[in-house]
Amino acid sequence: MPPRNSSVEQRALRLIYDAGEEGLLQSELWKLLDVSSREGSRLAKKFEEKGRIVRDKVINDGRWTYKLVSKNEPVTLDSVRGCPCLICSEVEKCFRGGTQDPVYCLLLTAWIDPRIETDA
């Protein structure tokens, strides 16, 4: 079982991500997570330092606070366009340690970084 902190962090990042471009006020996040403002502020600073979120200083109900906005972009179909796995006949046998292994697949490697010479 993962440590509680990791679970709280994952939930926090998910809530901030789900808030989209509008972001989420710090105080709202702490209520949703049921953590203290001190613990919440520590998390927000940590996420900002790791480049996961932006903290925008805003006034809410006459008091300064932070709005937290995720820096993660939503995944789009463009991000997987041309991926060889989408049309690969071996996909069901392909996993770590399987008959096919994505770590050693030359087609996938060439798609991820065309600068790498693979002869694929």
The residue ranges that bind ligand SF4 (CB under 6 A) are: 84-85, 88, 90-91, 94, 100, 102, 105, 107-108
Alpha-carbon torsion, ordered 12, 18, 21, 25, to 10 deg? -40
Nearest distance, CB of residue 88 and ligand SF4, angstroms: 3
Nearest distance, CB of residue 79 and ligand SF4, angstroms: 15
62 close to 71: Cβ distance less than 8 angstroms: no
Q: Whose Cβ is closer to ligand SF4: residue 32's or residue 112's?
A: 112
What backbone phi and psi angles, to 5 degrees, belong to 94? -100, 110
Nearest distance, CB of residue 81 and ligand SF4, angstroms: 14
Q: Whose Cβ is closer to ligand SF4: residue 19's or residue 110's?
A: 110
The label of the residue with tokens 């926090």 reads 12
Q: Whose Cβ is closer to ligand SF4: residue 59's or residue 77's?
A: 77
Nearest distance, CB of residue 76 and ligand SF4, angstroms: 20
Which residues are within 8 A (CB) of 82 and not within 5 positions of it... i.e. 6 or more apart?
111
**Alpha-carbon separation of residue 72 from 76, 94, 109 (angstroms):** 12, 28, 24
Q: Whose Cβ is closer to ligand SF4: residue 1's or residue 75's?
A: 75
